[in-house]
Amino acid sequence: MKYITKDAFTSISVIEDDMNQVFHHQWSRNVYKNEIIKMKHEGSITEEDLAVAKLLFRFRFATIEQLHEAVGTSKDINSFYSRLQKLLTYRIINKFMLSFNHDDKLYSDAQQFYCLDIGGQHLLTHFSNEEEVLDWFYIQSIVTSEIVAKSLMVFEFYNSFMRTCPGKIAYFKPNPVIRLGTKTMIPAFELTLKHQTQIIYFVGEVLRKQEVSTVFRDKALKWNQLINTNTWKKYYGHDNSMPPVLLAITADDVSASMGSRIIHETGEIANFRVTTEERVKKPLYEKGSFLRYLPEHRQLKEIKIRNFEPDNMNQ
């Protein structure tokens, strides 16, 4: 496989390490900011277009299916694709394929991934309250294929939450920065959930197959420092007496088992749950959407997390 085709993109885990991004158009600062602001003011750029830009700013990368679901558009997927093509011409968004070669064009059968472009930054600067967009620069979209895959997995998880219990999600932020003394850790996401009268915090990690036996042990030590000391109170303690629950998303059950052992033995963390790319497609309150590690048996058990049930489920 020289590049990922649409037919070959059966799951996010097919994205391999060390693949190259091949963009639809070259990056350029010569994007007419005033023209974009005028188009939004006059309605040529719509609220749905703005929503696309916001999502790509928050999650960095997305497939068309992820954007189509998250925006909640009434357009069918083909009409939505046509609209994204228009946003490409406005330089509000860009797109790319992943290839093992240094190609100079996108192939028509390649799987396409979307990201924000400079015109999108101009749009969000004037028509959103995303303060951090002022610090955004297009170089943030040029990354390794591993980062692309992790970002897509976080977006997939977010969409699953919004399908399952949208009214309970108080806050969801990808890639928050957490200071651990002189060290820094960047979880895949943090989530604040409203459950009855409780506020429950979760922090998330995406674990790729290739990381299980390498860098994940170092990450587990950082999770230990956050969750098993008072450090968590700095970020999650103002209205909560319990440390955040760690959620780990893995490629498959094998990775989930190996990662769980590392979290338990190296990170010494008791309160964590794991899921997989396939399991996260279910309603998140169903048994089997998440797994709990049983250290005495060194195996995983399918469980239900009732906190993720929608408020009206038992009415």
**pLDDT: is 310 or 117 the higher one?**
117
pLDDT level of residue 97 (50, 70, 90 thresholds): very high
User: Rounded to two decimals, what is the model's pTM?
Assistant: 0.94
Tell me which of 3.30.200, 1.10.10, 3.40.1350, 3.40.50 is the CATH number of domain 148-308: 3.40.1350
pLDDT at position 179: 92
Q: Residue ranges of the domains in the chain?
A: 12-143, 148-308
pLDDT at position 215: 80
pLDDT at position 305: 92
Tell me the pLDDT of the chain averaged across its residues. Answer: 92
Q: Which range is least confidently modeled, 63-77, 104-118, 209-223, 270-284?
A: 209-223
pLDDT digits (tens, 9 = 90+) for 203-217: 999 998 878 777 888
Does residue 315 have a pLDDT over 70? no
pLDDT at position 314: 55
pLDDT at position 1: 66
pLDDT digits (tens, 9 = 90+) for 286-303: 999 999 999 999 899 999
pLDDT at position 313: 66
pLDDT digits (tens, 9 = 90+) for 255-266: 999 999 999 988
**pLDDT: is 223 or 215 the higher one?**
223
pLDDT at position 63: 98
pLDDT at position 30: 81
* 231-239 average pLDDT score: 85
pLDDT digits (tens, 9 = 90+) for 56-88: 999 999 999 999 999 999 999 999 999 999 999
Q: Which H, E and C letters describe the chain, residue by residue?
A: CCECECCCCCCHHHCCCCCEEEECCCCCCCCCHHHHHHHHHHCCCCHHHHHHHHHHHHHCCECHHHHHHHHCCCCCHHHHHHHHHHHHHCCCEEEEEEECCCCCCCCCCECCEEEECHHHHHHHHHHCCCHHHHHCCHHHHCCCHHHHHHHHHHHHHHHHHHHHCHHHEEEEEECCCEEECCEEECCCEEEEEEECCEEEEEEEEEECHHHCCCCHHHHHHHHHHHHCCCCHHHHHCCCCCCCCEEEEEECCHHHHHHHHHHHHHCCCCCCEEEEECCHHHCCCCCCCCEEEEECCCCEEEEECCHHHCCCCCCC
pLDDT digits (tens, 9 = 90+) for 155-198: 999 999 999 999 899 999 999 999 998 889 999 999 999 888 88
The CATH number of 12-143 is: 1.10.10.10
